[in-house]
Structure 1
């Protein structure tokens, strides 16, 4: 069984698939037993065909396909549920996350406390447009004030977390943007890790500042409600 499953959700990313898989294998071969789980979210280009062709060249690669487009959070959860590793690393499929950061995050996990279940990437030098950076700073400031999750960047696609802890979280669309707050709600600690960030390799972003803002308001209120309503207790077995 692999120690690590790298989960990558994709939608219309045919030109970014091979370069990113090459980088993942280069970063992890010889350092960890791993698998790569790509989840194609019903792409309308030939992303799936590219992935199928690569399976013959990359023994670590597994490919899942959604029969209907369901969004990034659902694709991530699909990949995590199918994963065989006890720990999960996620990457955005556009190539902006650097797979070379995964071994660094694993080393930090190995040296860290066992009650830290999430290591979240922190893009300290973002390679996005000015408007996107501004919108992200604004959204992060509002989120931090409402949720008090002590996380400077929840939108970064590269994360390392324990599979079991993730699957115990409440599931909803766009939940991937609130993993630090949700993990803390469950009683676990989280750590932000500075990571590399790059310009998109090919294709176009699937999000705009407007659609992020529209769904973000409702999501923030929902996550804040979940945090207020959370109950935790220790458990002991008798007998």
Structure 2
């Protein structure tokens, strides 16, 4: 194994997520510690099992499809030693599986940057090094599906932990992808908004409230000029604006309670 050659003292854990082939046996023969799921639970569930099983103070997560170069591990660890709590391998141009996915990821990165107030270079990269104790704080937030990178990144920023990005080049994956571009693109977008409400709800609710208020004002101006009166539609839009904004305030308080120190 390349990892074993580069880091002979490292604990290598392979999570066999209910595979029907001999993945677990091959990994065990290569010297890895294998954690087995009796059936497939999802990428996020595998990450959580691996994080619980790891004994070290630092955990490096890698995909098992051949995209990530083990030689980059030492670079991530070096950045972690600079005082960061999480270092993410940010895929560079040419690393995306398709043009469409590259465009979608750039959009996700910009949206996450707006929500967090920090530069997010690669929101969905699964190649990252983390402080184990701090990562485990957020296991209860991580979904069992494909969005663990999104959730953990947003959670680290929300908790005030230090996150850095290290440029990497991801190779073409080995095997067939289980992701469906349209379906999973919409799902990732929904996940971002869900995490956004956990991270900074007002950054979602306030623009929506402002939009409703603006629509109500424009409609009121129109009806006042045309008919000289205030209509029920304007009242509905103004009321919706206030309700959405108040929901944002309440969500902000709930979010603060979720991230309080235990």
TM-score bracket, normalised by the shorter chain, equals 0.7 to 0.9
2: CA distance between counterparts of 1:151 and 1:26? 32
Distance 1:156 1:126 in 2: 14
Q: Quote the residue 1:25 is aligned against.
A: 4
Match of 2:245 in 1: none
* Contact 2:101/2:181 (<8 A) preserved: yes
| Matching of residue 134 in structure 1 with residue 106 in structure 2 | no
* Partner in structure 2 of residue 73 of structure 1: 44
Determine helix, strand or coil for the equivalent of 1:225: helix
Q: Distance in 2 between matches of 1:207 and 1:172?
A: 19
Alignment partner of 1:230: what SS? helix
Aligned to 1:34: 10
Secondary structure of the 1:39 match is strand
Contact kept, 8 Å, 1:147 with 1:181, in 2: the verdict is yes
Aligned to 1:148: 117
When you count strand as a share of all residues, which structure comes out higher? 1
Inter-CA distance 28–126: structure 2 relative to 1 (3 Å threshold): farther
Matched, 1:171 2:141: yes
**Structure 1 residues 131 and 70, CA, compared in 2 at 3 Å: closer, same or farther?**
same
What are structure 1's unaligned runs of at least 5 residues? 1-21
Runs of 4+ in 1 over 4 A off after TM superposition: 231-235
Give the corresponding residue for 1:123: 91
In the TM superposition, residue 186 of structure 1 has moved relative to its aligned partner by 1.5
Which 5+ residue runs of structure 2 have no aligned equivalent? 201-254
Q: Distance in 2 between matches of 1:230 and 1:213?
A: 29
Cα distance 1:211–1:42, how it changes in 2: closer, same or farther (>3 A)?
Answer: farther
CA contact (8 A) 1:135 1:209 kept: no
In 1, distance between residues paired with 2:137 and 2:61? 17
**More helix by percentage:** 2
TM-score with structure 2 length normalisation? 0.70
Call closer, same or farther: CA 1:149–1:178 in 2, change over 3 Å: farther
SS at match of 1:182: helix
1: distance between equivalents of 2:261 and 2:189? 33
Q: CA offsets, 1:41-60, max 9 Å, x none?
A: 111333233224x2xx42xx
RMSD of aligned Cα (Å): 2.1
Residues 1-239 of structure 1: pairs in structure 2 closer than 5 A: 22-29=1-8, 33-52=9-28, 54=29, 57-58=30-31, 61-110=32-81, 112-113=82-83, 116-127=84-95, 128-169=97-138, 170-173=140-143, 174-200=147-173, 202-228=174-200, 229-231=255-257
| Residues 146, 220 of structure 1: 8 Å contact kept | no
Q: Secondary structure at the match of 1:135?
A: helix
Following the alignment from structure 1 to structure 2, what is the Cα–Cα distance between the partners of residues 27 and 103?
8
The 2-side partners of 1:64 and 1:73 are apart by: 14
